[in-house]
Structure 1
Amino acid sequence: MMRKILSIFIVTLLIISCNQKQSDNYTVTSIEDESILVEQQYKNSSHESIDEVEKQEVTKKKIIKDGRLGIRVSDLENIKFRIDTIINHYGGYYASEKLNNSDWETSYNLKIRIPSDNFMKFIHDAETGVGEILYKEIEARDVTDQFIDLETRLENKRNYLKRYNDLLIKANSIKEILEIEEKIRALEEEIESTTGKLKYLSDLVAYSTLDLTISKQKNFKYYPIKRDKFSEKLKQSLSKGWFGFVDFFLFIINIWPLWIIITLIFYLWKKYKMKIKRK
């Protein structure tokens, strides 16, 4: 009887031990398999085509508006003040402001950022009744596809980041922890980069850019070049001539070894010639 009870106890212990090992192996294997699955899904999603992304519902178009406008005016300062007033009225600002003043023209080169909803209104007010329109270019670019693509990729990356963080909690070895942390770091960098691109595009969509040039022509006037008096020019010429002569004389003295060599060569050549004549 005791042998039978002992045999049953030993068999029970063996069964429990085997189940525990299988459970541990399943935990490690499941973490590795799940990590591989997440990585495969992430790689597949990163190559998702824009055509599939465009199927999502878009509530509002994302349009970037830019323009160039050149105006010739008769009263530059008053028109510049008028442009300042219109910009403040529509909630815009100057990205840059340059004043150029030449003999034939005075002009302001202005880079203006205006809320997109007020962009065309601003252009209409700026060009109405101010002077001659020299050129005008307006461009609108639809970047809705880029927005959808970036937003979708960003959402996917955040989802995979969450899943990797969940896997990090379940990791049982240093190797697994380091591998998952490396994937998390790479994902965080990609999320930061994609977020920056979205912010940049959002700014371009929210605020339109206009390069505005307002100019005023001047009546050309001839301004003769001022010259010194004849007496001053004469003094300057005599002074330069004297200093030039002194410099030349000093240069001749400076190369005295060369004169000795030339004299010696001349003497030898003369002596050689006289010797030939005697023969």
Structure 2
Amino acid sequence: MKKVLIGLLLLFLAACSNSEQKSSVESAKMDQTMIEKKIEKKGEMETVEAKSAASTYSNERKVMYTANITAEVVSYDETIANLTKKAKSRGGYIIQSNAVEQNGKIEAYVTFRIPQNELQRFIEEVKKASKSVKSEQMTGEDQTEEYVDLNSRLKSKQAVEARLLKFMESAEKTEDLLKISEDLAAVQEEIEQLKGRIKYIENRTDYATVELQLTEIKSHENFSKDFNTWEKTKEQFLTSIHWIVQAASWIVVLVVGNLPIVLLALIIFFFVYRTFKKKQEKTE
């Protein structure tokens, strides 16, 4: 009888122990599930917040503007110095300048980066600095959709990065740490790529590109002036010759036309002179 009681007691204790272990395992599983649900819910909230924040960018369009102007200038050096100064005063800068002289002309290609809110004013200054504007073109590329998408993806990746860092702090096994480190490195690389693209779009949309094709016509003008001077000199020379010929013609006309009168005058003068001389000889 004692053996039976002892056996029943052992069975009861074993059952209690199994029940406690099962309850402990189930409790641990429930805790883990609750933690995972909280993490998932937090991740969803962060994603929603990221999308909400990114949607605010749609109110401000992100457009890349490029202006192309072809113009003629009197002096390339003076024009570039003037425009560089103007660009700097408006918060812009020059990023490229290439000039080539051919056949007495200077062809130059110059690129400026100008804040978008100063773009139209700078274009007007380019026109004022030019002798004549041959062509003008403005193009724009809307980057708003990509910019919003990049910011949304960046917020999501940053949320994933934060969760991975928390998992790394609580991880105990080496293999878990290695796996989390690999995932974290991949996420951080994607974050840097997204940030680089966002920065590029911000720079390209905050600053407009102004591409100038300039032709210096100073040497051509000097040649024209010299040519005009020679033409005027030649014209004046021909005019002088004309007047000389005309004066000589008038002299010839005057002499030949009045030749009978001249001859008569000479004959009269001769007789008068001869008579006067004879009287003078008799007196002596």
TM over 0.5: yes
Shift of 1:106: 1.3
Equivalenced residues, count = 210
Post-superposition Cα deviations, 1:80-118, rounded to whole Å, max 9, x if no partner, equal 232122112211111112222223311332111111110
Residue in 1 aligned with 2:261?
Answer: none
Residue in 2 aligned with 1:56?
Answer: 55
Please tell me the residue identity of whatever aligns with 2:70.
G
Paired residue secondary structure (1:61): coil
Gaps of 5+ in 2: 224-284
Residue in 1 aligned with 2:24?
Answer: 20
Residue in 2 aligned with 1:93?
Answer: 93
Shift of 1:71: 1.1
Residue in 1 aligned with 2:226?
Answer: none
CA contact (8 A) 2:79 2:129 kept: no
CA contact (8 A) 1:64 1:141 kept: yes
Shift of 1:164: 2.5
Please say which of residues 123-132 and 170-179 is displaced more in the overlay. Answer: 170-179
Post-superposition Cα deviations, 1:4-41, rounded to whole Å, max 9, x if no partner, equal 9887766554433333344455667778x77x979x98
Return the alpha-carbon distance in structure 1 between the equivalents of residues 156 and 23 of structure 2: 37
Higher helix share: 2
Please tell me the residue identity of whatever aligns with 2:55.
Q
Superposition pairs for residues 255-274 of structure 1, below 5 Å? none
Superposition pairs for residues 176-191 of structure 1, below 5 Å? 176-191=176-191
Q: Give the TM-score of the pair, scaled to structure 1.
A: 0.62
Superposition pairs for residues 228-247 of structure 1, below 5 Å? none
Please say which of residues 9-18 and 201-210 is displaced more in the overlay. Answer: 9-18
Shift of 1:153: 0.8
Q: Percent identity?
A: 18
Please tell me the residue identity of whatever aligns with 2:104.
W
CA contact (8 A) 1:86 1:126 kept: no
Residue in 2 aligned with 1:130?
Answer: 130
Paired residue secondary structure (2:64): strand
Residue in 1 aligned with 2:105?
Answer: 105
Shift of 1:155: 0.7
Shift of 1:78: 2.7
**Residue 83 (1) aligns with residue 83 (2):** yes
Please tell me the residue identity of whatever aligns with 1:161.
E
Post-superposition Cα deviations, 1:214-253, rounded to whole Å, max 9, x if no partner, equal 22133499xxxxxxxxxxxxxxxxxxxxxxxxxxxxxxxx
Post-superposition Cα deviations, 1:246-279, rounded to whole Å, max 9, x if no partner, equal xxxxxxxxxxxxxxxxxxxxxxxxxxxxxxxxxx
**Residue 116 (1) aligns with residue 120 (2):** no
Return the alpha-carbon distance in structure 2 between the equivalents of residues 95 and 116 of structure 1: 16
CA contact (8 A) 2:54 2:151 kept: no
Return the alpha-carbon distance in structure 2 between the equivalents of residues 159 and 54 of structure 1: 14
Return the alpha-carbon distance in structure 1 between the equivalents of residues 88 and 159 of structure 2: 43
Paired residue secondary structure (1:91): coil
CA contact (8 A) 1:95 1:112 kept: yes
Paired residue secondary structure (1:128): helix
Post-superposition Cα deviations, 1:192-215, rounded to whole Å, max 9, x if no partner, equal 101100000111011111111222
Q: Give the TM-score of the pair, scaled to structure 2.
A: 0.61
Residue in 1 aligned with 2:152?
Answer: 152
Shift of 1:141: 1.7
Return the alpha-carbon distance in structure 1 between the equivalents of residues 208 and 28 of structure 2: 60
Return the alpha-carbon distance in structure 2 between the equivalents of residues 13 and 137 of structure 1: 85
Max Rg structure: 2
Residue in 1 aligned with 2:164?
Answer: 164
Post-superposition Cα deviations, 1:164-217, rounded to whole Å, max 9, x if no partner, equal 333334445444333332222211111110110000011101111111122213
